[in-house]
Amino acid sequence: MYYVCGDDTRGLPYGCYVHGNLGVEGAVQAIGSITDGMGWTPATAPVEVVGAPDKAALEACYELGAVVAATVMDG
pLDDT for 38: 92
Helix intervals (H) in the chain = 2-9, 25-38, 55-74
In single-letter form, the type of residue at position 35 comes to: T
How much is the pTM?
A: 0.84
> pLDDT by residue for the chain (75 residues), tens digit each?
667 787 888 999 999 999 999 999 999 999 999 999 999 999 999 999 999 999 999 999 999 999 999 998 876
pLDDT for 5: 80
In single-letter form, the type of residue at position 19 comes to: H
